[in-house]
Amino acid sequence: MAAGNGKSKANSATKGTAKKQAPAKASATKSRGAASDKDVPPDARSRAALLATSLRHHDTLYYQSDAPEIPDAEYDLLRRELVALEAAHPSLLTADSPTQQVGVAPAEGFETAPHRSPMLSLDNAMNADEMRAFDARITRMLLQDTETGDRAETPPDLTLDYIAEPKLDGSGIELIFKNGRFVQGLTRGDGQTGEDVTTNLHHVPSIPKTLATDNPPAIASVRGEMILPLAAFEQLNKGRVKRELRPFENPRNAAAGSLRQIHDVDYERLGSLEFRVYALEEGRPESFLRQSETLELLREWGFIVSPEIAICRGVDEAIAFHEQLQTLRGELPVEIDGTVFKVDTITEQNVLGTLARAPRWAIAFKFPPEQAETILEGIDFQVGRTGAITPVARLAPVRVGGVTVSNASLHNQDEIDRKDIRVGDRIVIQRAGDVIPQIVRVRLDRRHEAFKENRTLQRQSLPAHCPVCNAATLRLEGEAVTRCANLECPAQLKTNLTHLASRSALDIDGLGGKLVEQLVNAGLVSRLSDLFALDEERVLRLERMGEKSAANLIASLDRARKTTLPRLLIALGIRHVGATVAELLADHFPTLDDLLAAPPEAIAAIEGIGPTIAESMSRFTADGANRAELARLTELGLVLEEPAPKPTGADAQANLLEGLTFVLTGTMSRARGEIKKDIEAAGGKVTASVSKKTSYVVAGEAPGSKVKKAGDLEVTVLDEAGLLTLLGSD
C-alpha cells in the first residue's frame, strides 16, 4: 500500500487491506438535506453550504480545467473549516460533501475506465505540532489490542519508521501493465474512474513500454505523479512567447493540460513530461514488507523515483527531514510543496487501514506559503476567453519561492477595493501552491514611506472600455467580474471561434485551435461570420495548407451553414447560455426573430431560466454589433432548420412523464443530451435549475449544489436507475 506524492487535496492513496473502506454511494430516492439535526445554527448551515459550493467550484477548476483560481493554502483553509463544521454538527456531513470526495468526475470527451482500486487523497499537516499529533494518533492505534481494542496498561515503546518523499506538484496517474507491457493509463478522475489518456502517455519518454524484468507480474498497477521539470517548463514558455502564445502559468497546469488533449495534441510538451513513481498498488511480491523495498523494485523496473527519498526513524527525524527539504526547495529541478510521510512497514499500514477519503498511515506535511515584499508599480488588464477583464499587478521584480516574480493576480475589482490596493503601495505577495503569486496584504504601516520615495499612491478601477477593442464593459448584477461583451474583440476571437466549431455548437470538422490561430493571425478572420466568407483560394494562402485540406474545410463550413437555433445559440458563446438553456429558449421562441424581439421579462418568465440568464441574453440581443453579426451570418447562407415536432400521444410512452419537470446534475452513464431526449419523448420537461416546480432531480456521479437545493426544497432526487423506473425501462 502506498499514498501519493502529488497535490494533497487529491494525493493518490492506495486502498490496501484496510479495516475501514469508503461508504458506498446510495441510490437516493428522496433528498434528506440537513434537517435531521434541528440544533444546527442557521449560520453554521449556511456557511457549510457556501463552503461546499466553493470547494466544488475550485475542484472543477483544478481537476478538469487545470486552471486554479486560488492557491493550495487558501483551498486547505476552506476545506479545514468545512471539516470542522461537519465534525461539530454531524448532520451536515453528507455523502456528496467535498470532504468525502477525491477529485471530480472525468470531463466529457474522454473514454473512461475504472481504477484497479481507488486513488484516494491525503490529510495535511501544516506544522510540526500537527505532524506530532499524527504520529501520536497512529502510534496509539497500533498499540491497541487488536481483539479487544483496549490499550495495554504499560504499552511498549513504539517508534515508527517513515518513508519521506517530496510532495510533487503534478497530476496523479495510474499505469496498467499486463505481463510487463504498458497497456493503459488513467488520470485520477473522481478517484474511482479516470480518463483514459493511454495514447498521449505513449509519448512520455519516462514511461517504460515494457518493464525491465524477466519475471513481470501478470498485472501491475503503478501509481505516480506526472510532472514538468522546471527547465523544460521554462524552455516551453520561451517557445510559446516566440510564437506569440500565452505562456503557461505553472508547471502543474502545463503537465495536466497536456495529458488531457484530444485535438491538436502538443507532442513537444508531452515529450517534456516526467513520470515519477510512488506506489505499486497491484503486483508487489508478497515477500516485500516495506514501501521502501517497493520503490527500489520500481526503480529496477525502469521508473524514475525521486532521489530525495529517505527513511526517517521516528517523528523527530521526520520533522528534521522536512525542514531540510524546505531549505533545498529552490534548488530542486521540480516543483514541490511539502513532504509526504508514509508508515514504511506494510503490515502496520494494513492495521491502520483507510478512511473514506484518505489512508490513516500517510500524511502530507505542507510547506508554509512563501512570502516576500515588493512595490506595486502598476495594474494591467487582461481580457480572457469569456470577455472577463482581469486586473494583473505589475511588480518590482522580487525573488520568492525560488523564482523571480514580476506579476501577481488581483482577480477582480472587489479584491482591489477590499484590500485597498493602490499603485505605488508596498505589498506582501506569496506563492502558495505555486500558482500565479497573489497579493496577501498591503503594508499600510509603510504607506508614509511612499511620499519620501516620491511614489504616488493611486487608486485603480477596472476600465469602462475594453483595453483591447475599446468596447464598453459591463458587470452583471450579482457577479464580481467585469466583462467585454463585444464578440469581435480580438482577445476573445480565437477561443470563440474554436468554441463555435465544437461538436455541441456548429460542429465544423477540421477547424481546430491551430487552424483558428492561422486564420486569425493571417487576417482572414476578424469576426465569427468571416468564417463563412472563406473560400478555397484564400484558405490555400495559409502555410502548410494543401488543396485537399482546404477543400475539406470549405465543405465542413458549407455543412455547418444548416443548423438549429439551439446550436447557434451555443455557438455564439453567450454568457450563461449552455445546451439546456439554449433548448429552453428555442422551445419558447421557435425562430431567431422571435427571440430577438423578446423582452427580458418574457425570457425570465421561462421556467428554469431566471433573471441572471435573461439579463445576459437580453444584453446580447440588444447590442447592435451582435445583431449585425447575426444578420451577416444569414446573408452568408446560415439557415436554421425547423424544430422537430414534439412526440404525440401515438407513442405509448409519450405521456408517461406528462407534466413532470426534471433537472439533471452530475456525471451520467450516458450523454445528458440523450437522457434529456428520453425524458422529453415521454412528455417530461428538462430545466436548468431547481425550483419548487421541479418534480425530480436526477443525480449522477459527483453531483453539484443542485442536490442540496433539492433537499432544501424537498424535491425528490433520483439516480439513473430511478429515472429508468419512471420511464418504464427498468
Task: Please give the backbone phi and psi of residue 121, each rounded to the nearest 5 degrees, phi first.
Answer: -115, -170
Give how far Cα 397 sits from Cα of 375, 408, 429, 437, 631, Å.
Answer: 9, 11, 11, 12, 49
Which residues sit opposite 342 in a β-bridge? Answer: 163, 362
Cell representation of residue 108: 466529457
- Quick one: DSSP state of residue 223? E
335 torsion bin: left (phi>0), alpha (psi -120 to 50), beta (else): beta
Burial of 578-600, coded b for 16+ CB within 10 Å and e otherwise, reads ebbbbbbbbeebeebeebeebeb
Q: Are strands 685-687 and 482-484 parallel, antiparallel or unpaired?
A: unpaired
CA–CA gap between residue 54 and residue 74 (Å, rounded) = 11
Distance set, CA 589 to CA 249, 599, 624, 642 (Å):
43, 12, 20, 12
Is residue 32 classed as helix, strand or coil in its secondary structure? coil
Pairing of strands 661-665, 685-687: parallel
Burial of 529 per CB tally in 10 Å (0-12, 13-18, 19+): buried
Catalytic residues: 167
In angstroms, the CA 469 to CA 544 distance is 30
For residues 645 and 635, the answer to whether their CB atoms sit within 8 Å is no
Rounded Cα gap, residues 672 and 689, in angstroms? 15
Contact 527, 488 (CB under 8 A): yes
SS in 3 state form for 482-532? EEECCCCCHHHHHHHHHHHCCCCCCCCCCCCHHHHHHHHHCCCCCCHHHHH
Is 15 within 8 Å of 118 (Cβ atoms)? yes
In order, the DSSP letters of 600-656 are HHHHHTSTTTHHHHHHHHHHHHH-HHHHHHHHHHHHTT-EEPPPPPPP-TTSTTTTT
C-alpha cell at 394: 505589475
Asked whether 280 and 220 are in contact (CB, 8 A), the reply is yes
Which residues share a beta bridge with 699? 665
Q: Measure the CA–CA gap between 375 and 427, rounded to whole angstroms.
A: 6
- The residues, any chain, with a CB within 8 Å of residue 605's CB and separated by 6 or more, are none
* Cα separation, 720 vs 700, whole angstroms: 7
DSSP state, 215? S
Note whether 225 and 170 are within 8 A (CB). yes
The Cα–Cα gap between 692 and 661 comes to: 10
Instruction: Give the three-state DSSP class for 335.
Output: coil
Task: Give 280's strand partners.
Answer: 222
Cα distance between residue 527 and residue 293, in whole Å:
60
Q: Are 107 and 196 in contact (CB under 8 A)?
A: no
SS3 (DSSP) at 690: coil
CA atoms within 13 A on the CB side of 440: 15
